Every structure is written in structure tokens, then in C-alpha cells.
Amino acid sequence: MDKKDRIMTNEKKTFITKDTLMPLGLVILICGGVVWISTQLTSIKHKLDMLEAKLEDQWTRRDMENWGLKLKMSNPNIIIPDPSG
């Protein structure tokens, strides 16, 4: 075994070199961007869910009038005040 062969066998292979740093940094940057976008979309979805819940739970004047009319029709002997004023 000559000197050149001994040097080759003692060398370790490194996976991170100058050539791989740029792609590795790009992969880390993309992963960070995906996490950030996911967080933003989750926040927006939560806000939309809260708005939808508020819209569904509203008791509007029309709802009161409809409920009052249905109550009058199903119970004609009960005096029910007119919600329209």
C-alpha cells in the first residue's frame, strides 16, 4: 500500500461542503416559509370562524318578528306584544 492509498482510506467523507451549503440554506428557508404561511393561514381561519359564529348567533329584528308571528299563530289565546314597536 503506498502513501496515496493510505491518505485516501483515512479521509472521511463530509456531506456538508461549500457546494451543499447553498441548497441546505434554501431548504431551511423554504421550510421556515412554509411554517410561517401555515401559522398565518391558521390565524386567518380562526378569525373567520369567529366571525361566522357571530353572524350565526345574531338575533335580528326580523327573527323576533317571525318568532312572534309563529307564537301568535300557534297560541291564539295568548296576548303577545308586537315586536315591531
- Residue 34: predicted pLDDT: 97
Q: How many domains does the chain have?
A: 1
pLDDT band of residue 9 (cuts 50, 70, 90) is: low
Is 12 part of any domain? no
Among left, alpha and beta (phi > 0; psi -120 to 50; other), residue 69 is alpha
Is 6 part of any domain? no
Is 36 part of any domain? yes
For the stretch 17-69, pLDDT in tens is: 777 777 888 889 999 999 999 999 999 999 999 999 888 877 888 888 888 88
